[in-house]
A and B are shown apart, each in its own frame.
Chain A
Amino acid sequence: MEIVILGGILAVVLLIAIVGYFLLQQRRSGTIKAVIAPRQSATRTSDEAEDGSGTDRGAT
């Protein structure tokens, strides 16, 4: 009986170790990324917003 319990505990520990190993590898894995400069995003610039809507930018 004790052997069965010990075997079960060992199996759980092994499973946790294997899952943990793969999670750590996943966390560290690298890839290739394209860098998109902020000005190339879809967000309108303040100049474009001023031309389109006449938004009051505040007196200076």
Chain B
Amino acid sequence: MYQYDAHDREMIRERTAQFRDQVERRISGALTEEEFKPLRLMNGLYLQLHAYMLRVAIPYGVLSANQMRTLADIAEKYDRGYGHFTTRQNIQYNWPKLGDVPAILDDLGAVEMHAIQTSGNCIRNVTTDVFAGVAADEAGDPRPVAEAIRQWSTFHPEFTFLPRKFKIAIAGSRADRAATKLHDIGLIMVRDANGVVGCEVSAGGGQGRTPMIGKVIRDFIALADLPPYLEAIMRVYNLYGRRDNKYKARIKILVHELGVDAFKEAVEAEYARIDNASVAIADAEWTRIASFFSPPAYEDLADEDLGALATQVDDGRFARWLTHNVEAHQRPGYAAAVASLKPIGGVPGDATDEQMRILADLADEFSFGELRVSHAQNIGFPNVPQHRLPALWARLEAAGLGEANHGLATDIICCPGLDYCALATARSIPVAQAISNKFSDPARQATIGPLPIKISGCINACGHHHVGAIGVLGLEKNGVENYQITLGGQADGAGAVGQVVGAGLAAAEVPEAIDRVVDRYLDVREDGETFIDTYRRVGRDAFKEVIYAAA
């Protein structure tokens, strides 16, 4: 993992001291809320329905055991004993007091963490695949690239007052488990004809009220040239992005209005003007950054017979966990495992301080002290010896973290919604809970197979509903919560925005409607088809008719 150097530590120290002073002046009244708001947003501090909310950055989702312990301590000491992991691999605290925030930032700083640029019109956390660096199908490791982008974008003076927020994602393989096509800039690591690793660059993706799939603007950029190329894109956006209308201010609108060819031309022209040497990562610095991501002290292990391993624990749940929650690893004898933060009927993505401490201990004992936060709001253990999976699962299960539902119907992505968020138009969590309970039977979930269900409590789509195979959008109609169903969305591959099926449903109708959709899929699917495969083949109407069939 990246370790701060003296520069990094000093930057955080100064920033925290600066914010402490700003908070004091806010409390004393020397700063008005209007003056304070942009400052607190740049430090990840929101005002929501019940309290302030602090969004702490977890750069590209990589977390040490020690850092997780600090997150637990903060939850216990300054909050209400829990935290919420987000769709951008960060953590949110829902109950901090303004006066305590500088102390929280001090505690974070001590473990090389912060809340910088997790809000505001700036470049946000760069996100990636939960198993970056260990996944078996990667062209390259996204982590050092994400770290380089983080350093380039943090406190970048030219890009501190963008027209709107800016989100970058990077995937290590074309399987794209980082939803790169739904980001302002999406990067997919590829190798050129000579085997040199670089990135395919797409721009103008995004969700929210105008979902758009990002367009490829460059087939290949060498890693060393990535910062100047990103700089060129940012400059074009900064100059031409709309500032007159908040709802048209993202880069996706600019790419759409200019057209991808004109946009590409503008970027290439700017890139030609940039003095690469001044912005590109020097070889020595690249080597330094990459050195933090060298492999841990792997043992020489052989691949286990997972079928035999399944019998080691006399619990069908473990066999299912092995099937669904364990991913192939680059290293023989090792596995990447997902600890589900989606217990049946639970609040998706939440963890108590006690659970966080258990996860930290397990990371130390089973995974070289490293954890990952998935954009699907689960926790990953990236480096588990296969023969230790039974022991790991038993401990997770005891802590309520052992649900075998990774990628299945109850592994729901869900925003906080109207229960917490000042922007929301409807509650999202109770709907997720009801759907989770509806699909609780593990055998049924296994039969259904991969089924990404994603729920947002408003048009801002923080729950990624546009790219759910089944998406649910909570709106308000005549003062009552009303839920729009979308189908056929996809976050991976070429990406796809889900199609609205028809009029919205009442909350109570949603789980049943989804149940009927799933039944229809099971009825018409052909061998080997996942839900999304069948949807692509048979189309929306086959499903629309069962949603609106008389109950």
A and B bound? Answer: no
Contacts from A to B (Cβ < 8 Å): none
